[in-house]
Amino acid sequence: MDVLMLSAEQNTPFNYFPIALQLVIAVGFVVVMMLVSHLLGPKRKTEDKLINFESGIPSVGNARQPMGIKYFLVAILFVLFDVEVIFFYPYAVNFKYLGKEGFLEVVLFVAFFLCGFIYIVKRGALEWED
């Protein structure tokens, strides 16, 4: 019974005070910095500053020109395989606890992605014709 009362006493709203204080300080810092930069920053509005910024390169051609689907496909594949790598982190942290079953699950996970990658290569998704 004493253990239950001890755990109930330890979990009070005051225990979250440091987190709330850090959040208030962080938000306050952002607000103060934005106000200071707005008040102290230069305010020279010239015609050059008010035009849209287009990276300094004069635009050529029509912006509605069709773009190759390969660019989007490569971007999606990058995100897909990048997310795969993110899923390795929990396994790397807990690999001793997960044991052989966890290892087999990770091998199965990698095998599924490897099958998908082989399919992508066989379909020619990474070959550039342009």
In the predicted structure, residue 120 carries a pLDDT above the cut 90: no
What is the per-residue pLDDT for 21?
A: 95
What is the per-residue pLDDT for 9?
A: 63
Annotated domain spans of the chain: 2-52+62-122
Q: How far apart are the first and last CA of the chain?
A: 74
> For residues 88 and 93, what is the distance between their CA atoms, to the nearest angstrom?
9
What is the per-residue pLDDT for 87?
A: 82
Contacts of 116 (CB under 8 A, 6+ apart): 80
pTM over 0.75: no
Q: What is the pLDDT of residues 76-119, one digit of tens each?
A: 888 888 888 888 888 888 888 888 998 999 899 889 888 988 88
Of 4 and 45, the structure prediction assigns the larger pLDDT to: 45
Is the domain defined by 2-52+62-122 classed in CATH 1.20.58? yes
Helix (H, G, I), strand (E, B) or coil at 67: coil
Q: What is the pLDDT of residues 14-67, one digit of tens each?
A: 888 999 999 999 999 999 999 999 999 888 888 877 777 666 677 777 777 777
